[in-house]
Homo-oligomer: A and B are copies of this chain.
């Protein structure tokens, strides 16, 4: 019985293999709310409530959850002003801004292709 595996051709994106750090980060990043938060923040500094209002449809819980995760990954910086009532502001870090550039392109792609996609859907649904 042969249990040793012949090593694969090792494609460049093999780095996205399951269980790798890259795949884990990608899974954090490649989710609807995280990307929309990045897009909404842009180059601005926004308060928690401003973000919540801008991101229609997000719940209080989802917003805090995603902001925590993004802060942990060093994508957003969280600043607490010790006033009363408290004022907490969020803004993208350097890496966050870098990621934003790619998200911008994805949004641009969406705007540019939505007509085509809609017609593809209608055609498929028959």
Contacts and interface: CB of A to CB of B under 8 A. Distances in A.
Interface of A: 13, 15-19, 21-22, 25-27, 29-32, 35-36, 39-40, 42, 56-57, 71-74, 95, 98-99, 101-103, 105-107, 109-114, 116-121, 124-125
A117 B74 contact: yes
Contacts of A71: 124
Q: How many copies does the complex hold?
A: 2
Nearest to A56: B18
A72 B121 contact: yes
The 5 A-B residue pairs whose C-beta atoms are closest, nearest first, are A74-B120, A18-B57, A18-B56, A102-B105, A72-B124
A26 B101 CA distance: 16
Given A95-B113, A107-B16, A121 B73 contact: yes
18 contacts: A13-B107, A15-B111, A18-B56, A19-B57, A25-B113, A26-B35, A26-B110, A27-B32, A30-B36, A31-B32, A73-B120, A74-B117, A74-B124, A98-B109, A98-B112, A98-B113, A99-B106, A102-B109
Contacts of A112: 98
Contacts of A109: 98-99, 102
